[in-house]
Amino acid sequence: MSGRVVVLTGGVGGAKLVLGLQQLLEPANVTAIVNTGDDFTHLGLHVSPDIDTLLYTLSGKSNAAQGWGREGESWNFLDALRSLGGEDWFMLGDGDLALHVLRSMRLARGESLSAITADFARSWGIAIDVLPMSDQLVATHLDTDEGVLPFQRYFVGRRCQPVVRQVMFEGAAQAKPAPGVCEAILADDTTAILIAPSNPYLSVDPIFAVPGIRDALLAARAPVVAVSPIVGGDAVKGPTAKLMRELGSVVTPQAVAAHYGDVLDGMLVDERDARVNLGIASVHVDTLMTSLDDRVRVAQAALALAAGIR
C-alpha cells in the first residue's frame, strides 16, 4: 500500500500492531500517535510509559515475557533506592531510567516532549514517526470507590482493583495536539487511520480528549478502522473488560465500536466474537497477536479493511 498510515495507540496491545505495521510498510510512511495520559512525575522524573513501550517494542528492546520494560534490565538503582527507604512501588530499571532522566532534563530546559521523543526514536533507528498526542500535560485520573486516583496509583499501585466510576483527563481541555498529529490525520496522502487494540477508556479516550483530534478524525479523508481489543468476549490482558463492566458497558466489540462512535468507519473484529451488524464495515479474523507473523497479519487485515472502505 502506498501513502501514509496513521495509528492511534496506547501501550503493549497497541505496540503489537505498530510493530506489525513497521514490518509490513515503509516505516517512514507510518505515524504513531501515542497516549500520554499515563505520563506522570515519579522521583522527580517525567515517565511516559506508552511512548517508552512503543520505543522499546519498535527497537527490539522490549521484555516480551514480562509485558513491560526492557529485556535484560538490571535493577541496581531500585535496590539502592529501596535501601534508602525510597518509594519502590513503581519499578524503574537501570536502562529505563536513562530515558526518564534525559527526558526530564530536556523538558526542564524547555524542550517539547515531541522533539525529545523524535530524538529518542532516531537514536534507536526507528523510522516510524512517533508522536505524543500532545506536548502539554494531560493526566488520566480515575474516580473510584477508594477516591480519585492518579492513573499509575490505580494501575500499578493498586493493580486496577478499585471499582471505577469515571475516568477523567486533567488538563485535556487546555491541551493542543502535538505538532504533526492533525497534519498526519488530515494529510492528502494518508490512506488509512487505525485505532490499535488498546484500552478504549484508558489509552484511546485520552487521545480523543485532546481538543482538535476527534474533529480531525471526523474530517479525515482516510477511513478510520479500529482493531477490537476484545477477543472472545474478554480482554487479552489488563483491565479493559473489568473497566467496561464497571462503567456499565457490556464486553463486546460492538460496545467498543459504539464507544468510539461516529469517528469509526470500520472494525476488525475477532473471529471468536459474534457476527452482529455493527452498522459499519467489519471483518472477522483471528486478531490475537502472539507471534511477529500474527502482528503482520493483523496489520495487513486492518489495512485491507481500510482499503475496501476507501
Q: Which residues bind ligand GDP (CB under 6 A)?
A: 10-14, 16, 197-199, 203, 227-229, 231, 235-238, 240, 270, 287-289
Residues in the chain: 310
Q: Report the DSSP pairing between strands 40-42 and 45-47.
A: antiparallel
* Nearest to ligand GDP of 12, 126 (CB atom): 12
Name the nearest CA neighbour of 56 among 104, 113, 121.
Answer: 121
What is the residue-wise DSSP string for 173-203? Answer: GG--BPTTHHHHHH-TTEEEEEE-SS-IIII
Rounded to an integer, what distance in angstroms lies between the CA atom of residue 174 and that of residue 178?
12
* 69 versus 197: smaller Cβ distance to ligand GDP: 197
Task: Collapse the DSSP code of 125 into the 3-class scheme (helix H, G, I; strand E, B; otherwise coil) and give the result.
Answer: coil
Q: Which is nearer to ligand GDP, 48 or 199 (CB)?
A: 199
Q: Closer to ligand GDP by CB, 191 or 287: give it.
A: 287
Minimum distance from residue 85 beta carbon to ligand GDP (Å) = 29
What CA–CA distance (Å, rounded) separates 78 from 43? 11
Minimum CB distance to ligand GDP, residue 98 (Å): 21
Give least dist CB 253 to ligand GDP, A: 9
Least distance from C-beta 5 to ligand GDP, angstroms? 17
Residue 218 CB, shortest distance to ligand GDP, in Å, is 22
Q: Closest distance between ligand GDP and the C-beta of residue 80, in Å? A: 27
Q: Which is nearer to ligand GDP, 177 or 253 (CB)?
A: 253
Query: Which C-beta is closer to ligand GDP: that of 76 or that of 264?
Result: 264
Task: Give the DSSP H or E segment for 55.
Answer: helix 49-58
The angle, 0 to 180 degrees and rounded to 10, between the axes of the packed helices 76-83 and 94-108 is: 80
Q: Is 207 exposed, middle or buried (0-12, 13-18, 19+ CB in 10 A)?
A: buried
